[in-house]
């Protein structure tokens, strides 16, 4: 028993060592002032490759089931809005302009959207049709998701989950148990589609999304409208988007507080 406790203690020390991840800044601050350092254990390349594999699986599945870009007009609309937003990403990180961006629409009644690492965007048709989103409101949603990709929030979350799994594997190995294997593509899918982001991550995506949409010529005040619509729809019987994107009065207040910062950018953009 004592030997096992010693082994377990050693394993816990190993977990603590794993917590010493690299501290980096993934983006420039922009006018909204995003400057938090992030703890990363996995590399951008690892996470982007895993995300590309996961996204390809989702695209292939949707295509085989006849759900991929089934409404050409809707797909064109989503891509037009997305491309205007993508054209502004250099303000936060110049390298993102050369990412292999992909934008697709899945014919699905779920009210959902996501952007995976490296610029892989998926919008569900239910999000547009059920909430009757205007172009500016849709830009708020897509800009928010693009911001998650720019900040590499999935890499941050995957690094944390990977470190925990590695630590458990170490403890298990020291205790004579089988070592667990981590499939990064599956982890990317789970993190993106199932796990809620932290409040800090959501706030960063909100603020960066405001700036992106303003620079792209979309009225940032529409962001408040779309979150109100989401909350109302959620209260009526469930909204998938809110399961991984927590919202509330405080969030809307933060958006309203930050809108004056980006309104001048919108005024300039709409004149050009």
Tens digit of each residue's pLDDT (9 = 90 or more) over 203-251: 899 999 999 999 999 999 999 999 889 888 874 434 445 544 555 677 8
The total of structural domains in the chain comes to 1
Q: Do the domain assignments include residue 204?
A: yes
Q: Do the domain assignments include residue 22?
A: no
For residue 163, the number of C-alpha atoms closer than 13 Å in the C-beta half-sphere is: 22
Does residue 109 carry a catalytic annotation?
no
Which residue, 143, 163, 91, 149, is CA-closest to 120?
149
| Residue from 48, 102, 137, 145 carrying the catalytic annotation | 145
CA angle, 58 then 59 then 60, to 5°: 95
Range of the domain at 67: 42-271
Q: How far apart are CA 243 and CA 159, in angstroms?
A: 21
Q: How far apart are CA 78 and CA 255, in angstroms?
A: 23
Indicate the pLDDT class of residue 13, thresholds 50, 70 and 90: very low
Q: Do the domain assignments include residue 256?
A: yes
DSSP 8-state code for residue 32: T
Tens digit of each residue's pLDDT (9 = 90 or more) over 41-90: 888 898 899 899 999 999 999 999 999 999 999 999 999 999 999 999 99
Q: How far apart are CA 151 and CA 158, in angstroms?
A: 13
Question: What local confidence, expressed as pLDDT, does residue 220 receive?
Answer: 98
Please give the average per-residue pLDDT across 136-162, as a whole number: 90
Range among 24-38, 150-164, 211-225 with highest mean pLDDT value: 211-225
Q: Do the domain assignments include residue 165?
A: yes
Q: Is the pLDDT of residue 254 over 70?
A: yes
Please give the average per-residue pLDDT across 121-145, as a whole number: 97
The answer to whether the CB of 222 falls within 8 A of the CB of 256 is no
Q: How many CB atoms lie within 10 A of CB 53?
A: 15
Q: Do the domain assignments include residue 10?
A: no
Q: Do the domain assignments include residue 151?
A: yes
Question: What local confidence, expressed as pLDDT, does residue 119 receive?
Answer: 96
Q: Do the domain assignments include residue 138?
A: yes
């Amino acid at each position: 028993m004592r030997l096992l406790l010693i082994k377990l203690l050693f394993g816990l020390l190993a977990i603590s060592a794993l917590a010493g991840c690299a501290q980096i800044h993934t983006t420039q601050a922009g006018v909204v002032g995003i400057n938090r350092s992030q703890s990363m254990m996995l590399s951008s390349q690892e996470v982007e490759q895993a995300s590309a594999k996961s996204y390809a699986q989702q695209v292939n599945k949707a295509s085989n089931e006849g759900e991929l870009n089934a409404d050409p007009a809707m797909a064109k609309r989503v891509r037009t809005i997305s491309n205007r937003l993508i054209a502004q990403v250099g303000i936060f990180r110049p390298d993102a302009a050369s990412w292999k961006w992909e934008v697709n629409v899945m014919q699905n009644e779920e009210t959902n959207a996501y952007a995976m690492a490296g610029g892989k965007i998926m919008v569900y048709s239910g999000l547009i049709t059920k909430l009757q989103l205007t172009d500016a409101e849709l830009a708020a949603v897509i800009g928010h998701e693009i911001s998650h990709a720019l900040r590499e929030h999935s890499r941050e979350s995957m690094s944390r989950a990977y470190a925990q799994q590695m630590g458990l594997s170490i403890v298990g190995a020291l205790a004579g148990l089988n070592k667990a294997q981590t499939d990064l593509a599956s982890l990317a899918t789970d993190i993106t589609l199932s796990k809620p982001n932290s409040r800090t991550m959501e706030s960063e995506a909100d603020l960066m999304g405001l700036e992106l949409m303003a620079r792209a010529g979309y009225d940032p005040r529409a962001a408040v409208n779309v979150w109100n619509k989401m909350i109302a729809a959620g209260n009526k019987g469930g909204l998938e988007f809110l399961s991984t994107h927590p919202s509330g009065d405080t969030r809307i207040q933060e958006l309203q507080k930050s809108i004056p910062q980006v309104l001048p950018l919108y005024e300039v953009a709409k004149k050009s």
